[in-house]
Amino acid sequence: MSVPQPYATPSEKPLPRQRILPRAYLLPALFLLAHIPLALLMRQSSYVTLAHYFLTLTIGLLVVVQRHGTERVMYVAAYITGSEVLWRMAKLGLFWEIGKYTVVLLLLLSIYRSGKARIPLLPTLYFALLLPATAPVFLEEGLLNARSPLSFNLSGPLSLAVSVWFFSRLSVSREEFDRLLLYLISAILSICMFAIFGISEAEHIKFGSESNFQASGGFGPNQVSAALGLGSVVALLMALNEKAPKAWRAMMLGLALLFLVQSMLTFSRTGLYNGLGSLVGAVFFLIRDPRKRMEFVFTLLVGSLLIIFLAWPLLNDFTGGSLEKRFSETHLTQRSEIAEAEMELFSQNLVWGCGIGRATSLRSVHPGAASHTEYSRMLAEHGVFGLASIALLFLMGMLAVWKAPPPSGRAYAAAFVSFALLYLIHAAMRTAIPGFVFGLAFLSVKETDSSRN
């Protein structure tokens, strides 16, 4: 008796075995997951953190000197932007603004190497308007003492201006855009795991009515929460790529939820609010695309149900009910008081302002505390020049959204502009995130192959 053959004809072949992730996505997935043990190693040794920074810097400099390294430079810059808070959490030990200055260095070198270094008007004017306020600092503090406040307060605007300059020259494919986002959230995954490992190692965590340093990896909850909020937005944008495999998109949605959950555990509300505000900016354009409308609504619905019926009850129980109390509060602690005092300084120094960095000592409340709100700081310290600079910032944001290709390009641009402008309300320009993300809004993303610079 003959054994039945599985195929009717010899020409028929078995179907190829389906992979959970296609080969093209395996290396990116491994690179992403490698940042989980990296966070653990950084918790164990500051030498690992130091090696991580210098390895990243070296790779960035090597990429700059390549003939066609422009796109690769943006990958390294995105990675550094995501890593800055991680380095601070892990006590890098180098000067505080090193993340912002490293991004600026690499982007400027890339612009110079490209041979297309025509200086754009709006970002240059935005930054130039802030320079007159350096005069009172030099006169009152002297050259040596002026270095610290100038570096702290001007490094953020400088990174924003340079990022806009760099990205406004680029046009990339959707694949290159997703790769950039991957480098950004890989570092943010390490931030998330650094905080999670801190929670697991703690003998007891007390959750109250204020931001929680223990659940933030021992570092500032405001900055950690904001970085995680950015990670949730970026991961969600990647999950909406219909060309990506379902497993990859599911993993991105899972990361978005993980980042959001850990952001809430820091008890800093900024990550959640920034993320929601950024999504509102994107929704207006995404719902106009028939291909993405239902997919976007379905993704948000699934994510919302998981948060409301699974994550929120578990987290609230874990914190003894403190989470619900924290997010039901509406007061802004000392931030609103500082902002009001800075507005008083603005009324007293309308034209020239009181000088960069001097508001901390001259305002009537919380002297010595750094400003949380970039807008009120710019008004107090830069006067009408600060007001003009703020107006240019919003003008650039509107132009970025208007010039982006509809509808997806405008959705990305609106999300990035919204996130950056909201970030400035609660964390000023303490990190490279707002400047770099604002610059991303000027990146032209095509669904076809990119045109290299």
H-type alpha helices, 168-269: 174-201, 221-239, 246-265
Q: Cα separation of 88 and 81, whole Å? A: 12
Helix 374-403 vs helix 121-128: angle between axes, to the nearest 10 degrees? 180
What's this model's pTM, rounded to 2 decimal places? 0.89
Instruction: Kindly tell me the number of DSSP H helices and DSSP E strands found in the chain.
Output: 19, 2
Amino acid 427: pLDDT: 84
Query: Nearest-5° angle of CA 425, CA 364, CA 332?
Result: 35
Q: Cα separation of 90 and 48, whole Å? A: 9
pLDDT surpasses 90 at 232: yes
Which residues, in sequence order, are bridge partners of residue 18?
Answer: none
Mean pLDDT value of segment 136-143? 79
Amino acid 332: pLDDT: 59
pLDDT surpasses 90 at 401: yes
Strand runs (DSSP E) across 49-96, as ranges? Answer: none
Amino acid 275: pLDDT: 86
Q: pLDDT category, 2, cuts 50, 70, 90? A: very low
Q: Mean pLDDT score of the chain, rounded to an integer?
A: 85
pLDDT surpasses 80 at 161: yes
What contacts 190, CB < 8 A, 6 or more positions away? 35, 36, 38, 39, 42, 83, 86
Amino acid 331: pLDDT: 63
Q: What is the CA radius of gyration of the chain?
A: 23
* CA-to-CA dists, residue 387 to 72, 129, 148, 422, angstroms: 36, 9, 23, 17
Residue 445's SS3 state is strand
H-type alpha helices, 266-373: 270-286, 290-306, 312-318, 322-328, 334-348, 359-362
Chain segment 343-387, per-residue pLDDT in tens: 999 989 898 888 898 888 888 777 777 788 899 999 999 999 999
Query: H/E element holding 58?
Result: helix 46-64
pLDDT surpasses 60 at 453: no
* CA-to-CA dists, residue 26 to 31, 82, 115, 123, 127, angstroms: 9, 22, 36, 39, 42
Is residue 166 within 8 Å of residue 439, measured between CB atoms? yes
Q: Cα separation of 58 and 53, whole Å? A: 9
Of the candidates 183, 165, 57, the one whose C-alpha atom is nearest the C-alpha of residue 112 is 165
Q: Cα separation of 379 and 172, whole Å? A: 37
Amino acid 1: pLDDT: 40
Q: In the Cβ-directed half-sphere of 278, how many Cα atoms lie within 13 Å?
A: 30
Of all residues in the chain, the percent with pLDDT exceeding 90 is 44
DSSP state of 116: -
Residue 444's SS3 state is strand
For residue 195, how far is the Cα from the chain centroid?
17
Chain segment 48-60, per-residue pLDDT in tens: 999 999 999 999 9
Chain segment 263-280, per-residue pLDDT in tens: 988 888 888 888 888 888
Mean pLDDT check: name the lowest of 12-16, 45-49, 61-65. 12-16
Is residue 43 within 8 Å of residue 89, measured between CB atoms? no
For tokens 């204020």, the residue is 210
DSSP state of 96: T
Q: Cα separation of 445 and 278, whole Å? A: 18
Of the candidates 29, 6, 11, the one whose C-alpha atom is nearest the C-alpha of residue 19 is 29
Q: Cα separation of 378 and 366, whole Å? A: 17
Tokens for 288, please give them.
């106009």
* CA-to-CA dists, residue 136 to 151, 358, 359, angstroms: 15, 9, 12
For tokens 């989470």, the residue is 323
pLDDT surpasses 80 at 293: no
Please state the φ and ψ torsions of residue 172, each to the nearest 5 degrees: -130, 165
In angstroms, how far apart are the furthest CA atoms of the chain? 103
Tokens for 20, please give them.
């959970």
